[in-house]
Structure 1
Amino acid sequence: MVSGKNAKVEEVKKIKEMILANPIIGIVNMQNLPMAQLQRMRKKLKDDLTIYMSKKRLIKIALEELKSEKPGIEKLDDLLKGMPALMFTKENPFRLYALLQKSKSKAAAKAGQIAPTDIKVTAGPTPFAPGPIISELGAFGLKTKVSDGKIEITEDKVVVEEGQEITGELASLLMRMGIEPMEIGLDLIGVFEDGSIFGKDVLAIDEEEYFNNFVQAETWAFNLAVEAGILNSKTTELLVQKAYRNTRAVSIEANFLTDDNADEILGKAERQMKSVESNVDFSKVPEAKPEEPAESSEKVEEQKDEEKPEEKAEESAPEEKPEEKAE
């Protein structure tokens, strides 16, 4: 017969062996999970993960003893809350979290339960007729008015914050309002992988939002690559087309005639000619005067021919010889 002490030693040993044999170890909170629901989930997820329940104290011992063999594993100690259980898998932590979230179902709140998230009552009509219910709603800070014979909530209001206990009065009110804030399923608190701990705040991603973010990032990267002239499999065709259009536009602007742009340049010249023709009144343009014959050379000749009488007389008078003296 195995003694209680030996049984605990064997249990710790088993936990350590399972931790060492699996790359990904998760901590789940089993609190408020009905046994029937647990059995259904185990059967549904048996190909993806293994759930192992043990005493919290024994799990702590196993984690502490493994910190040298698996550094960082001891950090899971801080995640042992509620009714913890170990989960072993080879699945990607983010896919694992999404898988567990999809397997959950909604349920009404019960007195004494802890709110998994902020529980909010949104503005809008209620099924209640005016009466004492107005005071009940007001006790939780809900503002109301009467509309079409029914009570209407006028503003959104968080009636209990995450981690707080749900009172019997609030649980009853939420049930009558048809609000089911609780989720029945495996609550994944955190996951250990390669020395790192991923909490639920990291694992809880909106797949649609992330997909849209990736699409947006791709669009920005594409536009940046095109603007910077970076050639790759997605931008080459567009950049070549852009370069062709720019080159063609420059050649047309510079009137550089090619086989490709001849029609545009000739069309441009024709449009400019018609623009000038439409803006100029040729009837008001003065006619050119006929050129006068050149007279300057003839006048020069005349001046040469016309000489002063004195100069002419001097030139024609014979030279006087001196008289010879009589011997």
Structure 2
Amino acid sequence: MLRKDKPTEVKKLSELIKKYRAVGIVSMKAMPAKQLQSIRKDLKGKGIIRAAKNNMIARALDAVDKPNIDKLKEKLKGPCALLLTNENAFKLARYLDKMKIPTAAKKGDIPSKDIVITKGPTEHPPGPAISTLQKVGLKTSVVDGKINIMEDKVVCKAGQEITEDMVNVFSLLKMEPMEIGLDIISVWEDGTVYDKDILTIDEEEYLNKITTACQQAFNLSMNIGYPTKQNIELIIQKSFIEAKSLSLEAGILDKSIIGELLAKAVAEAKALEEGLPKEEKPKETKEKNSEEDKKTSESQKEPEEKKEDNEKKAEEDKKTKNKDI
């Protein structure tokens, strides 16, 4: 760009910055032209990407009267571009993050996320590969004739430069730990500058933390009896149950529990009755029953004695008859 054209370009940039509600700084390092073209096409209707030299972007930011927007100048390091949008900054950051594609790592690359090698078997037999893996601190063993990585390990932290040994390990394990895409550095929105670590938070993890915090706050309010719109019904139910339980234990009469009090009294009376010893029959009754039992026994004996007498008499008659013959 010619020197005389620079003021015009700065003015165009400043006008764009004024037009959009969110202004971001993105890194253009190692960005292939083909992918940049694809991203620009996908962003159509959502925002625009405007590449320029850092000093021109800084001058354009100075020309805009928006609170704290000048703080974006501190983020201009390396090849950068402006990302201008009317979308929510967090939503756009997630969108760009999803558009990144994996690629092989090169010596000197700086990853934006920790690179983790997980435990498990590899496809390599014992040999030089063991030494290659151990150079980056991986613990190995041999299982079924193959090298096995014994535990997970972060071999390169976010922001750390990738070494030749790391490249060799990634190549051996066929890993593509780097990502190609627009890397958001910072975004200004409504007077606030958000850095990458805030814009790219794990949404699911964040929602889980909020859910846990809400549940803990709810439990605390219930335990201390602090009424809120969310817990008032449960507090009333809990108070009613506790008051009812106290009334039943103390025997306090109330129309709402009279039926349960009567049922409790009946149950207690029945339990008391079952615990008492059984009454003995009077002595006279015992003697009377004894005499009746005796008579019954004698009456049972009489038919038997009579039967025996008849049998004896029949036998004697038979003998007499035989004698006469």
Q: So what's the TM-score if we normalise by structure 1?
A: 0.76
Question: Is the deviation greater in 272-281 or in 211-220?
Answer: 272-281
Do structure 1's residue 156 and structure 2's residue 152 form an aligned pair? Answer: yes
Paired residue for 1:4?
2
Structure 2 distance, partners of 1:170, 1:247, is 69
Aligned in 2, Cα 1:143/1:219: closer, same or farther, shift over 3 Å?
closer
Q: Which ranges in structure 2 are unaligned for 5 or more consecutive residues?
A: 281-325
Structure 1 distance, partners of 2:139, 2:222, is 54
2:47/2:84 contact within 8 Å kept: yes
Instruction: Report SS of the residue matched to 1:116.
Output: coil
Instruction: Describe how 1:9-20 pairs up with structure 2 within 5 A.
Output: 9-20=7-18
Q: 2:205 aligns with which of 205, 209, 218?
A: 209
2:120/2:148 contact within 8 Å kept: yes
Instruction: Report SS of the residue matched to 1:109.
Output: coil
Superimposed CA distance per residue, residues 205-256 of structure 1 (whole angstroms, 9 cap, x where no aligned partner) = 1111222223223333433444454555543433333333233323323323
Q: 1:42 aligns with which of 40, 43, 48?
A: 40
Q: Which has the larger Rg?
A: 1
Q: So what's the TM-score if we normalise by structure 2?
A: 0.77
Instruction: Report SS of the residue matched to 2:193.
Output: strand
Paired residue for 1:252?
248
Superimposed CA distance per residue, residues 85-121 of structure 1 (whole angstroms, 9 cap, x where no aligned partner) = 0011122221121111112222221334222233222
Q: Which ranges in structure 1 are unaligned for 5 or more consecutive residues?
A: 285-327
Instruction: Describe how 1:95-244 pairs up with structure 2 within 5 A.
Output: 95-229=91-225, 231=227, 233-244=229-240
Runs of 4+ in 1 over 6 A off after TM superposition: none
Do structure 1's residue 29 and structure 2's residue 43 form an aligned pair? Answer: no
Percent of aligned pairs sharing the same letter: 44
Instruction: Report SS of the residue matched to 2:133.
Output: helix
Structure 2 distance, partners of 1:231, 1:163, is 48
Structure 2 distance, partners of 1:196, 1:86, is 16
Aligned-partner residue type, residue 187 of structure 1: D
Superimposed CA distance per residue, residues 70-95 of structure 1 (whole angstroms, 9 cap, x where no aligned partner) = 23222212212332100111222211
Structure 2 distance, partners of 1:169, 1:240, is 66
- CA shift for structure 1 position 169: 4.8
Paired residue for 2:60?
62
Structure 1 distance, partners of 2:203, 2:230, is 25
Kindly indicate which of the two structures has a greater share of residues assigned to helix. Answer: 2
Structure 2 distance, partners of 1:11, 1:256, is 87
Structure 2 distance, partners of 1:217, 1:139, is 43
Q: 1:268 aligns with which of 241, 245, 264?
A: 264
Question: Is the deviation greater in 224-233 or in 80-89?
Answer: 224-233
Paired residue for 1:289?
none
Superimposed CA distance per residue, residues 146-174 of structure 1 (whole angstroms, 9 cap, x where no aligned partner) = 11111112233333333333345532431
- CA shift for structure 1 position 128: 1.0
Structure 2 distance, partners of 1:235, 1:170, is 55
Question: Is the deviation greater in 140-149 or in 274-283?
Answer: 274-283
Question: Is the deviation greater in 244-253 or in 78-87?
Answer: 244-253
Instruction: Report SS of the residue matched to 1:146.
Output: strand
Instruction: Report SS of the residue matched to 2:116.
Output: strand
2:138/2:149 contact within 8 Å kept: yes
2:89/2:199 contact within 8 Å kept: yes
Instruction: Report SS of the residue matched to 2:236.
Output: helix
Aligned in 2, Cα 1:145/1:246: closer, same or farther, shift over 3 Å?
closer
Do structure 1's residue 87 and structure 2's residue 83 form an aligned pair? Answer: yes
